């Protein structure tokens, strides 16, 4: 059955791979984007997840085109890396507002339609560093750890209505976000990855698609690492 799927930040990187994975199995896929082009074959809605008005308008557009969102992937995210003593309130708040509060805004809005349908899948994209911590990323790690408590609370609240809420915690994935890291930093990370390579965006997308499938109907409140073993033990 073709479902209405919405992926935030689906115009590039991991979000785009997730959108393509759902589209490939015949789902009706919408993505949010802030600037640039909408990738071919996808329905794009302009939306900055830090704006409640944008989120409301975007959901209205998706619902008019594809019907109520049955699968939500909250993927939009940013980094503003710096050491704690140099981190401004703005650096901290911008990352929390996008990664954590932005996910809250879209999950809350999506859950309305899912509660009416009595089914739905919410997948939040966290990170291995949300569990392990990462020097220079106190804001980012806090936002990604926050998603775990958020997802587990939502899972408890709306599980009885046939809606699951899970977290995917990728490790190091080669995208624009990680392209800014120095070669030394990349090599240092790689040394700690048992599988000794970075993830492809498709490897993250496959797990998200599984969590939204019938095979994952009995999985909720879970944190699924897709990190080549980097976060083992956390
Ligand atoms: P990219 O930087 O390549 O893409 C980020 C996406 O988020 C873009 O589509 C961007 O839109 C969107 N976005 C950012 N801020 C907002 C906002 N305020 N409103 C709406 N959309 C926004 O990142 P990745 O693909 O690498 O990361 C995707 C997710 O995966 C993020 O949540 C990230 O934290 C997480 N992740 C990434 C890892 C990695 O190694 N790459 C590892 C672990 C987790 P626009 O194009 O308009 O800027």
- Going from the Cα of 14 to the center of ligand 1, the distance in angstroms, rounded, reads 7
The partner residues of 7 in beta bridges, in order of sequence, read: 31, 73
Q: What is the pTM of this model?
A: 0.98
Q: Give one DSSP letter per residue of 213-233, joined into a string.
A: SGGGTT--S-EEEESTTTTTT
Ligand 1 pocket, 13 CB below 6 A? yes
Range of the domain at 137: 4-226
Q: Which residue is closest in CA terms to ligand 1's atom 23?
A: 177
Does 98 contact ligand 1 (Cβ within 6 A)? yes
Q: Is 198 noted as a catalytic residue in this protein?
A: no
Structure tokens at 228: 């080549």
Q: DSSP per residue over 141-198, as a string?
A: HHHHHHHHHHHHHHHHHHGGGTEEEEEEEE--B-SHHHHTS-HHHHHHHHHT-TT-SP
Q: pLDDT tens, 155-195?
A: 999 999 999 999 999 999 988 888 888 899 889 889 999 99
**Helix (H) or strand (E) run with residue 165 in it:** strand 163-170
How many angstroms does the Cα of residue 224 sit away from the middle of ligand 1? 18
Q: Is the CB of 140 under 6 A from ligand 1?
A: no
Is residue 81 in a domain? yes
233 within a domain of the structure (yes/no): no
Q: Check which CATH number belongs to the domain holding 37 and give it.
A: 3.40.50.720
Domain count, the chain: 1
The complex scores an ipTM of 0.99
For residue range 68-106, list pLDDT tens digits in order: 999 999 999 999 999 999 999 999 999 999 999 999 999
Dihedral angle computed from the Cα positions of residues 11, 29, 70 and 224, in that order, rounded to the nearest 10 degrees: -50
Residue 45 lies in a domain: yes
């Amino acid at each position: 059955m073709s479902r209405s799927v919405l992926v935030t930040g689906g115009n590039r990187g991991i979000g785009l791979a997730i959108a393509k994975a759902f589209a490939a199995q015949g789902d009706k896929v919408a993505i949010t984007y802030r600037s640039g082009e909408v990738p071919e074959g996808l329905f794009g809605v302009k939306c900055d997840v830090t704006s409640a008005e944008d989120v409301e308008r975007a959901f209205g557009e998706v619902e008019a085109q594809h019907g109520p969102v049955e699968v939500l992937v909250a993927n939009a995210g940013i980094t503003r890396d710096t050491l704690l003593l140099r981190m401004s309130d703005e650096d901290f708040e911008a990352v929390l507002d996008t990664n954590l509060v932005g996910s809250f805004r879209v999950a809350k809005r999506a859950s309305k339609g899912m509660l009416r349908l009595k089914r739905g899948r919410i997948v939040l994209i966290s990170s291995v560093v949300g569990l392990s911590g990462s020097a220079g990323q106190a804001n980012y790690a806090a936002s990604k750890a926050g998603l775990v408590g958020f997802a587990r609370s939502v899972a408890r609240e709306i599980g009885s209505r046939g809606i699951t809420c899970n977290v995917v915690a990728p490790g190091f994935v080669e995208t624009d976000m990680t392209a800014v890291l120095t070669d030394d930093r990349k090599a240092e990370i790689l040394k700690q990855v048992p599988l000794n390579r970075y993830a492809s965006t498709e490897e993250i997308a496959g797990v998200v698609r599984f969590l939204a499938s019938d095979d994952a109907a009995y999985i909720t409140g879970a944190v699924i690492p897709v990190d080549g073993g980097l976060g083992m033990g956390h």
